[in-house]
Structure 1
């Protein structure tokens, strides 16, 4: 029987917070491949989720604002996703968690390809609504929704022991407002928050719009960091329960588990707050894979959210490029062999709404702000916190490469990554 596949997608989780999740660390990170250089296709919730479901970068799927659901459906993107392809191949499919912003305006909608649909309709209020296969229910707050969705996922796993399945669990945590359970509400009280780039003192090498930004309130940034860490303990508990269910039903050894976030999060680094920006704290995401035959490894390979769909299709024995070629590439071969020498040499990240593009190659990262014709270049080996742009560098080749990548799609784009 083909292997199962589970994606776990957290919301607004910085890479640096992964180590705080003890059970996830022990049972996923140390049992599989942990990528030090995982990236969002676009560090904003809705566009990133569209990229994961379609293996298209935003410049190809056309959804660049956070109200993603309506344009995603209007363009017909929902009719060719990882779910529709796997369902057509005989997989049972289930979605459990936050989907895309804008779904509340279309509450009866159930996305094509999903046999089981437990999706959040209103994610930013204290009394969220949930669509269960198109029937509307209410739950008491975002954390209770995360638990509700996880319970439904565990039920789905138990009921599908004898057939291959694909599922997504997408909790709202650690997205604000920060409301950890009473069990974890004091776990990180007073945690230190003093990263090197916090309220960066010398901003002359940054784009002109950044240079006069006021410093962020350090105490506020610390409180938000504390809230994220505490909410992630609740996610950690749910991940452990899902893994227990897989183990207890004899499915863990034939289930591929991918753990990512939609985007990272800036908490005062470079005087910035939130996401959407082209810095490591925002564009970088946690990225873990555990699966059958995968040996534990910490990898420096450049991986993206757009790689999730082709890898999953490959696990199912399907041609990822059947019908249309994907922007991402399958990780299955390197995951099984441990050999990443033939993997992509360069990786793209973009924000088509804010008009910046990013190219990562080796230890260097080039950022081009196309609306203002400004650029940044960092060597992360020497400057991991992006404090000093290499302003004397010749970036002609970097700029050419960026414009080629962000004008390409599918096989042509993958060729430019080599």
Structure 2
């Protein structure tokens, strides 16, 4: 019997919070490959999810705002996703913003469809296979979706399947369960770049930003950590069902987030920006025959689809060249020496591009004609852009990647 594939996609989760999820850490991350350099294709929810589903960078799928559903469908992207190419597929969780305007929509390729409509937070609507229902609250929806994922797993124990579990947590507003509401009361929040004192190395629009309220940042951090305990419980129950039904040893589990989150670093709040806290995401894979390891390879959300297709025995480039590349070979062998050398992260709406290569992070603010350059080994918190550097080679590589797709793009990564 072929292997199963499960993607778990959290919402607005920073890399640094992964260690707080004890069940996920012990039973998923430490049992597989933990990528220290996992990145969002674009650190904004809707465009990132479009990239995950299609293995297209935003400069190729053209969906650059959070109201992603309408342009995604209008361009026909929903007709060629991981789900349309893999049979026995189930979606459970948050999909894309804008789907509330098309409340009975069921994306092609999904045999089971349980998605949140972006209605009122205190009275969210849910689409269950084309029928609109209501649940009691946003966090109740996460439990609702997780329960139906477990049911899907049990019902398909004799077949291979592909599923996505996409909880709304730890996206605000922060409403953890009563069980976890006080787990991180008063947690410390004092990263080195919080309210960065000298902003002279940053692009001009950032230099006069006011400082963020440290107490507010701490409360958001507390809320995220507490909500992640609920996600951790849900993941633990899914792993229990996989074990009980004899499927765990033949199931590939990918854990990522749509984007990271800035909590006062560089005086910024939220996502969308080209700094490690926002562009970087937690990224871990557990699967059959995978030896536990911590890996520095540069991986992206666009790699999820080709890897899933490869696991299913399908050629990822059949019909259309994908922007991402399959991780299956290196995951099985443990040899990442032939993996990509450089990776682009972008925001086509704000017109910036981030190029990662080795320890270098080069940021190009294309609309303003400004740039930043960091050596993350020496300056992991991006406090001081390297002055007076010759960035012509970095600019050339970035421009080439920005203008490419498919096999041509992948060749430029080597």
Q: What interval of TM-score do these two structures reach, taking the shorter chain for normalisation?
A: over 0.9
User: Given the superposition, is the C-alpha separation of residues 228 and 124 from structure 1 closer, same or farther in structure 2, using an over 3 Å criterion?
Assistant: farther
Deviation beyond 2 Å, 4+ runs, structure 1: none
For 2:31, the equivalent position in structure 1 comes to 31
**Aligned equivalents of 1:39, 1:272: Cα separation in 2:** 19
Out of 314, 321, 345, which is 1:318 matched to? 314
**Aligned equivalents of 2:184, 2:123: Cα separation in 1:** 26
Alignment of 1:33-72 (within 5 A): 33-72=33-72
CA contact (8 A) 1:123 1:172 kept: no
For 1:201, the equivalent position in structure 2 comes to 197
Length-normalised TM-score, structure 1: 0.99
**Aligned equivalents of 1:197, 1:320: Cα separation in 2:** 40
**1:331 corresponds to 2:330:** no
Deviation at 1:193, TM superposition (A): 0.1
CA contact (8 A) 1:51 1:305 kept: yes
Task: Give the secondary-structure state (helix, strand or coil) at the position aligned to 1:66.
Answer: coil
**1:240 corresponds to 2:269:** no
**Aligned equivalents of 2:290, 2:119: Cα separation in 1:** 35
**Aligned equivalents of 1:244, 1:334: Cα separation in 2:** 27
**Aligned equivalents of 1:293, 1:246: Cα separation in 2:** 17
**Aligned equivalents of 1:93, 1:55: Cα separation in 2:** 17
**1:170 corresponds to 2:201:** no
**1:97 corresponds to 2:115:** no
**Aligned equivalents of 2:157, 2:381: Cα separation in 1:** 46
Deviation at 1:123, TM superposition (A): 5.8
**1:259 corresponds to 2:264:** no
Task: Give the secondary-structure state (helix, strand or coil) at the position aligned to 2:86.
Answer: helix
In structure 1, stretches of 5+ residues that fail to align are none
**Aligned equivalents of 1:384, 1:395: Cα separation in 2:** 19
**1:148 corresponds to 2:144:** yes
Out of 408, 412, 416, which is 2:412 matched to? 416
**1:107 corresponds to 2:103:** yes
**Aligned equivalents of 1:391, 1:170: Cα separation in 2:** 41
**Aligned equivalents of 1:391, 1:124: Cα separation in 2:** 47
**Aligned equivalents of 2:136, 2:222: Cα separation in 1:** 22
For 2:14, the equivalent position in structure 1 comes to 14
In structure 2, stretches of 5+ residues that fail to align are none
For 1:81, the equivalent position in structure 2 comes to 81
Q: CA RMSD in A?
A: 0.5
Question: For 1:62-82, what per-residue CA distance to the aligned partner results, in whole angstroms no more than 9, with x for missing partners?
Answer: 100000000000000000000
**Aligned equivalents of 1:274, 1:136: Cα separation in 2:** 31
Question: For 1:117-175, what per-residue CA distance to the aligned partner results, in whole angstroms no more than 9, with x for missing partners?
Answer: 00000266111000000111101111100000000000000000111100000000000
For 1:280, the equivalent position in structure 2 comes to 276
Deviation at 1:334, TM superposition (A): 0.2
**Aligned equivalents of 2:33, 2:365: Cα separation in 1:** 33
**1:230 corresponds to 2:226:** yes
Question: For 1:162-209, what per-residue CA distance to the aligned partner results, in whole angstroms no more than 9, with x for missing partners?
Answer: 111000000000000000000000000000000000000000000000
**Aligned equivalents of 1:258, 1:415: Cα separation in 2:** 25
**Aligned equivalents of 1:380, 1:86: Cα separation in 2:** 38
**Aligned equivalents of 2:33, 2:227: Cα separation in 1:** 24
Out of 372, 393, 397, which is 2:393 matched to? 397
Question: For 1:253-277, what per-residue CA distance to the aligned partner results, in whole angstroms no more than 9, with x for missing partners?
Answer: 0000000000000000000000000
Task: Give the secondary-structure state (helix, strand or coil) at the position aligned to 1:36.
Answer: strand
CA contact (8 A) 1:39 1:349 kept: yes
For 1:184, the equivalent position in structure 2 comes to 180
Task: Give the secondary-structure state (helix, strand or coil) at the position aligned to 2:123.
Answer: coil
Task: Give the secondary-structure state (helix, strand or coil) at the position aligned to 2:178.
Answer: coil
Out of 343, 351, 355, which is 2:339 matched to? 343
- The aligned length equals 414
**Aligned equivalents of 1:213, 1:391: Cα separation in 2:** 21
Question: For 1:190-229, what per-residue CA distance to the aligned partner results, in whole angstroms no more than 9, with x for missing partners?
Answer: 0000000000000000000000000000000000000000
**Aligned equivalents of 1:141, 1:329: Cα separation in 2:** 38
Deviation at 1:292, TM superposition (A): 0.2
CA contact (8 A) 1:37 1:284 kept: yes
